[in-house]
A and B are shown apart, each in its own frame.
Chain A
Amino acid sequence: MTNPPAKGDGVPAEEPAPTAGGDNGLTVPPAEQFEAAMEDEAAEQAVAVEETAAVTRRKPWILRAAIYLTTANQVMVTVYSLILAAVVGAILIIVSDPYVRSTWGYFFSQPGDALSASWDAVATAYGALFRGAVVDPDKLNRWFYGMADLDAVLRPIATTFNYSAPLIFTGMAVALAFRSGLFNIGAQGQAVVGAIGAAIVGFSFTGLPTIVHLPLTLLGGLVGGAIWGAIPGVLKALTGAHEVIISIMLNYIGGYLLLWVISTKFVHSPDRTDAISKPASESALFPSLFGAGLPANWGIVLAVVVAAGMSWFLARSSLGFRFRTVGANPAAAKTAGMGVAGTYATAMAFGGGLAGLGGATILLGSTSHALTPSVAGTIGFDGITVALLGRAKPLGVVFSALLFGAMQAGASTMQTVAQIPVDMVTVLQAVIVIFIAAPALVKGIFHLREAKVSGQELSMAKGW
């Protein structure tokens, strides 16, 4: 027998590293960089990891907390992105207000004017945003002294819930696909078709009890969305067509389908002259959450329950395991005998179903609970941002959908009270996502520490 060649330890150990690190395979993560044979001391891990771990172990909690707060982990990057977005928003508010701008014109003679005017403008705007989205402290106070009814106190949060519920669904539709290695940019079309399905079931039956009719209506939305989602999935599985392109096109087709459906005799409301369908029957609607006077309904509860279900599904079901494996490494999934193409098709159908539920929820949560040409708004596209912000995790999606819903709810108040255009909120959302997508930027701005290396990638901008 001859000697098998021994391997030099310090040499970057990975021989084939086509998938390692960044796009060019040049950046080797520290763990692999320092990795070596661990034959003697098992504890001797990558040096960087070791150090952080040691510090974490020995320091008191306050220091540990400080270290956590100043590390570029996912949570803190998100938090700092929100702070940065708020700062950018504040600058925009200052710049866009003609009066405040004028005070900056004589900043060097009376700096106090500019500063206080700027502070007032920003505080008024963000204060209104908060009052419109969460709670108005003044109303709360009045209610406490019996001078206002509870509805007034709950209205902002109820409005937020009503905006958030559909976003949770579409966010999950995108997130589930993300986790399965797909970029579901078609949530918009899926939501639209889901809304069509829900509306048809919703107005076609009358006299059913809610307990039967509501689930049926939701099923209509689910099936509609699932069909729309399955199309790109199946095409990808069978022909290799890219799901992004197909689903973008299906967004258009879904939009036109909606226009056509509304104009048909079967769907169009005979009592109305404009483009609106027959309204869903009362029995198809979600029961109201806080009472009839407030917009929130049980859709938000359903959304949270479904999010919990998705979390369970990914962690505990064999299909979820397959989704995750295919999403994280399709080649390994194939080698392990998983049907990658079939998984793609299934994941897209699941995602479509979730988006369809989002479409159903926004339809049933709307004032007219009827189809209109823009009934789904932009919940599908917003779902992409929500999923990004929520790091494609169910809990994250719930929180980011609540945040986005709150921003939309608050925007209305901010517009009325502070005359800030509603588009400001869209800008804020975009800025948040930019920072989330570029964690290195956030890390640089706040001088954060390097996060411990784990298998999770900080950036999600790899959907393609």
Chain B
Amino acid sequence: MNVLYGLLTPDSGEILIDGVPQTFHSPRDALRAKVGMVHQHFMLVPVFTVAENIMLGREKTSGVLLSRAAARAEVRELSERYGLDVDPDAVVEDIPVGVQQRVEIIKALTSDCDLLILDEPTAVLTPAEIDELLDVMRTLRADGKSIVFITHKLKEVKAIADKITVVRRGRIVGTAEPTTGEDELAAMMVGREVSLTVDKTPARPGEPVLEIAGLSVLDERGQRAVDGLDLEVRAGEILGIAGVQGNGQTELAEAIMSLRPVLTGTIMVNKCPATRSKTRQVIDSGVGYVPEDRSADGLVKSFSIAENLVLNQYDKPPYGSGFMINPKMINKVAEERVAEYDVRTPSARTPVGTLSGGNQQKVIVAREMSRKLDLLIAAQPTRGVDVGSIEFIHKRIVAERDTGTGVLLISSELDEVLALSDRVAVMYRGRILDIVSPDTPREKIGRLMAGLTDDQAASKEPGA
């Protein structure tokens, strides 16, 4: 898709737009051919207003002055035509994610594009916002726009698409109709049948390994991302945290790992206070952590797999003692781990950065799970990971639970939380709204994720 938008130039082949071959060297070329794109990561300037963001790159000018009024009028016009409901004067950082996404759509529409590419647009949205987005897409379709909708969520594809193309490893593996069954689609994507359920026995919870009381944590902007949260994870159970991304899950995990200072409240690991520990002490007390952003926090991409496997154990026997480390031992153990965790690589000395996302994730999982743990915090353990690896990682998490480790699973994939967890805690705006059984109907959990508890009418909630 980046090729289509001119971000990357193709090595071979050609792109036809309305039957005309095109070469895109930059997004500018793509826009000229009326191709617009909404990126997974919004490309908006947070401190600018919506109208100002729209003006970016294609500044409407009268002489040297930017014409704010024109941009504002254009936003209003498009907003009304497609029912987008965007205020041109709102500052982008103040508006919800769902609205920001609509700003991106407007941005694409202002260049008069006929073809709109939406790259994983639903990843950051609540179920309600997803529905709204799908409505917008229908309006656009009615207006004669073509939309390429990239997603890995089968339900959404089935709900909106007129034609489905399955892409695997840079090749089209097949096309399907919206009526095709989910299992069949999944099979096409993976190339073989995968079990979409996780086999596990009922949990045998033991003593609490993680007790959190009244925890409040600030995020980068100084907002209370975690706000008076209480939680308990017991040995031998998987507690899943369901919630739309950005409701404090990241900060919660980081607070437990002492990566982020605790404002108020207490954290006990194995009945020992860990509120003001050092990250090192938390790790050494038997806590494993699969960070949510593996590139940023989990791995050193220029390091070998072997080195990454000892990132938090490098100075402990048998890998190191005193001032020295033992590369021979590190490499030897790494070879075993690579085999055990099925990391597909030519050698354990290969730089981690050259591996696929799934294999990178397996390296982290191998590192965290191959020592004796009492508590495992797995944040988004399968994000951006291929299906085969997802299955593998899920199995390892369950196996870890079965050895008596308490697992705190944080995932924005509701299906993953439901499939793995023994108990599901729904997190919304820094608090746990409710803890439910994984058998609870999805609709109910979905409502909780949007902040609606049962005793609240939907209308009372002032929007996310």
* Residues of A that sit less than 8 Å from B by CB: 1-20, 25-29, 31-40, 42, 44-46, 49, 315-319, 321-322, 324-325, 328-329, 331-339, 453-457
Contacts and interface: CB of A to CB of B under 8 A. Distances in A.
Nearest to A452: B354
B116 interface: no
A13 B152 CA distance: 11
B295 A6 contact: no
B460 interface: no
A15 to B, nearest CB: 4
Contact of A37 (B292, B358, B418): B358
B268 to A, nearest CB: 19
Interface string B172-197: 10000000001101100111101011
Contacts of A456: 302, 351
Nearest to B322: A318
Contacts of A13: 356-357, 384, 386
Contacts of A8: 150-152, 166-168, 189
B315 A318 contact: yes
B386 A5 contact: no
Interface range on chain B (Cβ under 8 Å from partner) = 35 or more
B75 to A, nearest CB: 25
A453 B354 contact: yes
Interface string B43-65: 00000000000000000000000
A38 B418 contact: no
Given A12-B1, A325-B300, A456-B302, A4 B415 contact: yes
A31 B351 CA distance: 11
B457 to A, nearest CB: 27
B168 A9 contact: yes
Contact of A9 (B41, B167, B320): B167
Contacts, number: 238
Given A15-B123, A35-B357, A39-B386, A339 B413 contact: no
Contacts of A337: 278-280, 282-284, 312
B418 A318 contact: no
Interface in B377-413: 382-390, 394, 413
A453 B353 CA distance: 9
B14 to A, nearest CB: 18
Contacts of A1: 196-198, 418-419
Contacts of A16: 292-293, 295-296, 383-384
Given A9-B189, A10-B170, A39-B389, A332 B296 contact: yes
Interface string B154-174: 100000000000111111100
A17 B298 CA distance: 13
A4 B183 CA distance: 11
Interface string B314-338: 1100001011110100000000000
Given A18-B295, A334-B297, 19 more contacts: A3-B415, A5-B415, A7-B384, A9-B167, A11-B167, A13-B357, A34-B170, A35-B356, A35-B357, A36-B169, A39-B386, A316-B327, A322-B314, A331-B297, A332-B296, A337-B278, A453-B353, A455-B301, A456-B302
A17 B19 CA distance: 34
B262 to A, nearest CB: 16
30 contacts: A1-B198, A2-B419, A3-B196, A4-B419, A6-B154, A6-B387, A7-B152, A7-B386, A7-B390, A8-B167, A10-B167, A15-B384, A26-B7, A31-B354, A36-B169, A37-B168, A37-B356, A42-B344, A317-B323, A318-B323, A325-B300, A325-B303, A333-B300, A337-B284, A338-B280, A339-B278, A339-B280, A455-B352, A456-B351, A457-B302
B415 to A, nearest CB: 5
Contact of A6 (B150, B189, B352): B189
B238 to A, nearest CB: 13
A18 B154 CA distance: 26
B8 interface: yes
Contact of B170 (A29, A36, A332): A36
Contacts of A15: 40, 120, 123, 383-384
A317 B389 contact: no
B82 to A, nearest CB: 26
Contacts of A29: 353
Q: Which of B351, B354, B384 has the most CB of A within 10 A?
A: B354
Nearest to A26: B7
Q: Which 4 A-B pairs have the closest CB atoms?
A: A37-B386, A455-B302, A39-B388, A10-B167
A42 B354 CA distance: 13
> Which of A12, A13, A317, A337 has the largest number of chain B CB atoms within 10 A?
A337
Given A332-B296, A337-B282, A5 B154 contact: yes
A143 B193 CA distance: 81
Contacts of A453: 353-354
A319 B293 CA distance: 25
A49 B354 contact: yes
B354 A454 contact: yes
B369 interface: no
Contacts of A40: 191
Contacts of A35: 355-357
Nearest to B154: A5
A335 B289 contact: yes
Nearest to B385: A7
A329 B307 contact: no
A336 B312 contact: yes
Contacts of A455: 301-303, 351-354
Nearest to A49: B354
B299 A454 contact: no
B259 interface: yes
A335 B150 contact: no
B72 to A, nearest CB: 28
B333 to A, nearest CB: 15
B267 interface: no
Contacts of B152: 5-8, 11
Contacts of A4: 196, 382, 390, 394, 413, 415-416, 419
A3 B322 CA distance: 49
Contacts of B153: 5
A14 B390 contact: no
B249 interface: no
B136 to A, nearest CB: 22
Interface in B180-236: 182-183, 185-186, 189-192, 194, 196-198
A445 to B, nearest CB: 20
A325 B189 contact: no
Nearest to B293: A16
Given A5-B152, A15-B123, A315 B327 contact: yes
A38 B169 CA distance: 9
B2 interface: yes
Given A318-B315, A321-B307, A335 B295 contact: no
B164 to A, nearest CB: 10
Contacts of A33: 8
A3 B186 contact: yes
Nearest to B197: A1
A15 B191 CA distance: 22
B442 interface: yes
Contacts of B284: 337
A42 B325 CA distance: 30
B188 to A, nearest CB: 9
Contact of A335 (B40, B194, B291): B291
A336 B389 contact: no
B302 A332 contact: no
B429 to A, nearest CB: 22
Contacts of A329: 296, 299-301
A4 B295 CA distance: 23
Contact of B354 (A9, A46, A321, A331): A46
Given A15-B384, A18-B295, A38 B359 contact: yes
A334 B346 CA distance: 29
A38 B357 CA distance: 10
B241 interface: no
B344 A316 contact: no
Contacts of B120: 11, 15
